[in-house]
């Protein structure tokens, strides 16, 4: 980012733009884009970036792509974003290469192509972009239509993890937890989950709780598991909310409390978690933590069935014949 702040900067860049200074066009566009010394104005920024982008400035091409991609000051236009990201990416801009990878991966403004996505992720990853390294690793693990290579995937996760990327750290932990590309080792998995959680990864926080809950890589400690589940649940992690609800329901690591169990099941169920929907249906069926309601039990069982929860189907059949 080459933005300079201050109202004086805005004045001088405007004067320079009038005199046809191409660098000033980009500098002034930055001020409008970031709201430095002037009110944010994405339309004005886009107008100035466009002039520089057409002249071949890769920095301007990237930011113009961002404006189109995010719909800043205008409607989202993936095709226009793709055009400008491609222009910048071909000049070696790693951020544009990374976003192109995402667009091809998701099929945004272009036909979905995992092969092309990997190509762009790889170019950005080789330039040291940690997000691209994670995405490349993930693609090499799971994407259809390409040759999968788990050892290569793990290599890219490690490169990103060494830069402190929380997602890479969590993914390496999962590799050790499941024995993917490495020998299964719960202790090493837990150490990576701790690194990721320290960097703010909510899923890793849940996984630490799961390790304490199951006694994997650490001595089983239900109280510690509840603490970890609560931290992740409070940040909206659906599976942590389910586990916390289960702990309250069964009295695992905390005093049994059916009402609090229902509270956490409901929060996860509202996020469309099928297991939570099933458990919430059971609570309504049995009147645990809430009033009995055959109608609401059926409602939540049906939601769970729609999301693939087989136990809910059996529970619904039994409920309908009673």
pLDDT for residue 16: 53
pLDDT for residue 7: 59
20-65 confidence digits (pLDDT tens):
666 778 888 998 999 987 889 999 999 999 999 999 999 999 999 9
Residue reference for tokens 């990721």: 196
- Compute the average pLDDT of residues 93-103: 98
- Measured between alpha carbons, how far is 144 from 126 in angstroms, rounded to an integer? 22
Residue 1 banded pLDDT, cuts 50, 70, 90:
very low
pLDDT for residue 3: 46
Residues 276 and 287 in one domain: yes
Q: Tokens standing for 278?
A: 């099933």
In 199-293, which ranges are continuous DSSP H helix?
202-214, 222-234, 238-250, 258-269, 274-286
- Compute the average pLDDT of residues 102-131: 97
pLDDT for residue 321: 85
pLDDT, averaged across the chain: 93
User: Which region holds residue 162: left if phi is over 0, alpha if psi is between -120 and 50, else beta?
Assistant: alpha
**28 Cα distance to chain centroid:** 32
- Measured between alpha carbons, how far is 24 from 31 in angstroms, rounded to an integer? 11
Q: Tokens standing for 281?
A: 């249906």
Helix-then-strand count for the chain, H and E: 18, 0
Residues 80 and 2 in one domain: yes
Residue reference for tokens 């389910």: 242
Residue finishing a domain among 27, 59, 90: 90
Query: 271: domain CATH number?
Result: 1.25.40.10
pLDDT for residue 18: 57
Instruction: Give the chain's length.
Output: 322
Fill in the DSSP letter of residue 110: S
- Compute the average pLDDT of residues 277-302: 97
Q: Give whichever of 1-5, 22-26, 144-148, 159-163 has the largest mean pLDDT.
A: 159-163
How many separate domains does the chain show?
4
298-317 confidence digits (pLDDT tens):
999 999 999 999 999 999 99
pLDDT for residue 20: 62
Checking if the pLDDT of 258 tops 70, the result is yes
Residues 258 and 296 in one domain: yes
Residues 104 and 69 in one domain: no
Domain encompassing residue 140: 92-163
The count of C-alpha atoms lying within 13 angstroms of the C-alpha of 105, restricted to the half-sphere facing its C-beta, is: 20
pLDDT for residue 144: 86
- Measured between alpha carbons, how far is 210 from 51 in angstroms, rounded to an integer? 53
Q: Is residue 56 part of a domain?
A: yes
Residues 52 and 83 in one domain: yes
């Amino acid at each position: 980012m080459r933005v300079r702040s201050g109202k004086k900067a805005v004045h001088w860049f405007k004067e320079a733009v009038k005199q046809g200074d191409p660098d000033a066009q980009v500098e002034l566009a930055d001020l409008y884009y970031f709201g430095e010394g002037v009110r944010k104005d994405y339309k004005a920024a886009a107008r100035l970036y466009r002039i520089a982008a057409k002249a071949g400035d890769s920095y301007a091409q990237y930011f113009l792509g961002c404006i189109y991609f995010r719909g800043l000051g205008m409607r989202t236009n993936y095709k226009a974003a793709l055009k400008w990201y491609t222009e910048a990416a071909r000049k070696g801009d790693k951020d544009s290469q990374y976003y192109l990878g995402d667009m091809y991966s998701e099929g945004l403004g272009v036909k979905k192509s995992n092969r092309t996505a990997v190509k762009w992720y790889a170019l950005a990853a080789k330039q040291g972009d940690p997000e691209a390294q994670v995405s490349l690793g993930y693609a090499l693990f799971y994407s259809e239509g390409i040759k999968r290579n788990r050892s290569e995937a793990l290599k890219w996760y490690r490169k990103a993890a060494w830069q402190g990327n929380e997602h890479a750290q969590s993914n390496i932990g999962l590799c050790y937890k499941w024995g993917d590309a490495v020998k299964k080792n719960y202790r090493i998995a837990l150490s990576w989950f701790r690194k990721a959680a320290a960097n703010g990864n909510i899923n890793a926080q849940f996984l630490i709780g799961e390790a304490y809950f199951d006694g994997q890589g650490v001595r089983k400690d239900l109280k510690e598991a509840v603490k970890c589940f609560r931290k992740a649940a409070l940040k909206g992690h659906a599976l942590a909310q389910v586990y916390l609800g289960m702990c309250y329901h069964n009295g695992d690591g905390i005093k049994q409390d059916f009402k609090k169990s229902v509270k956490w099941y409901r929060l996860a169920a509202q996020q469309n978690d099928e297991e939570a929907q099933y458990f919430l249906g059971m609570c309504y069926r049995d009147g645990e933590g809430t009033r009995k309601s055959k109608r609401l039990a059926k409602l939540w069982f049906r939601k769970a069935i729609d999301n693939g929860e087989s136990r809910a189907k059996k529970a619904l059949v039994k409920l309908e014949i009673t």
